[in-house]
Amino acid sequence: MDDQIVGQIQAIQFVIVTVLFGIPIYKILGRAGKSRWWIVSLLVPVLGTAVALWVIAFGRWTKDGSGTLSS
């Protein structure tokens, strides 16, 4: 297979995976009261996502009584 075609397929896969994970993470960040700019960490494939998930998982989450989480 031509290298250019392989590169295009990989770029399309990257966009699809970023969208599939990006939309739910964007919503979770908003509900958790975190900055939605953390979504940019998805552009760094493994390390950025891992760091963002650790920050979200171990950050302060409190319930405000309305059924949504806020910090």
Environment class of 55 (CB within 10 Å of its CB; exposed 0-12, middle 13-18, buried 19+): middle
Q: Which domain holds residue 9?
A: 3-70
* Predicted model pTM: 0.58
Q: What is the pLDDT of residues 2-39, one digit of tens each?
A: 889 999 999 999 889 888 988 888 888 888 777 888 88
Higher pLDDT, 16 or 45: 16
Q: What average pLDDT does the segment 38-48 reach?
A: 79
What pLDDT, on a 0 to 100 scale, did the predictor assign at position 68? 53
The pLDDT of residue 65? 47
Would the pLDDT of 57 be above 70? yes
